[in-house]
Amino acid sequence: MPGTHRIDVLLAVAAGGALGSLARYGLAVALPHPPGGFAVATLLANVAGCLLIGVLMAVLLRARRPHRLLRPFFGVGMLGGFTTFSTYVLDAVESVQLGRPAIALLYATISVLVSLAAVAAGWSAAHALLRRRVLTRSAS
């Protein structure tokens, strides 16, 4: 029935989101940046999250029958809570407002390009490893 959600899916998303958000908060605490400075923690969270979503999608595509809560928990919840587009944009805008447009442009450009490359790298690496694993099994 459209518009209805099973409680287990909602709980999986919520639990994953809580864990991902806590991990991102921990990264921000561990790697603080001054106002208008280069937001290394946000960049790392977004790039790592993109790499991992690439891995997750490759694994789910190759899995015969993945558990139906894997994508909601890890993809929407955990990685959705870990990565943050809004903080990325806020950091860039703050840099511009504080008179550091070069930092904002560098940060925005690096974030987009490296994140796109990370998704592709994660998917490609996981796909290659899974294919090699299947070939090794069939040769045995």
- Using one digit for the tens of pLDDT, what is the confidence trace for 30-49? 999 999 999 999 999 999 99
**What value does the mean pLDDT take over residues 1-25?**
90
Which of 49, 82, 68, 62 lies closest to 126 in space, CA to CA?
A: 62
pLDDT band with cut points at 50, 70 and 90 for residue 1: very low
**What value does the mean pLDDT take over residues 51-74?**
94
Residue 96 has pLDDT above 90, yes or no: yes
C-beta pairs of 92-97 under 8 Å, 24+ apart in sequence: 94/35, 94/36, 95/36, 95/37, 97/36
pLDDT above 70 covers what percent of the chain?
A: 93
Reported pTM = 0.87
Q: What are phi and psi of 127, to 5 degrees?
A: -60, -45
83 marked as part of a ligand binding site? yes
49 marked as part of a ligand binding site? no
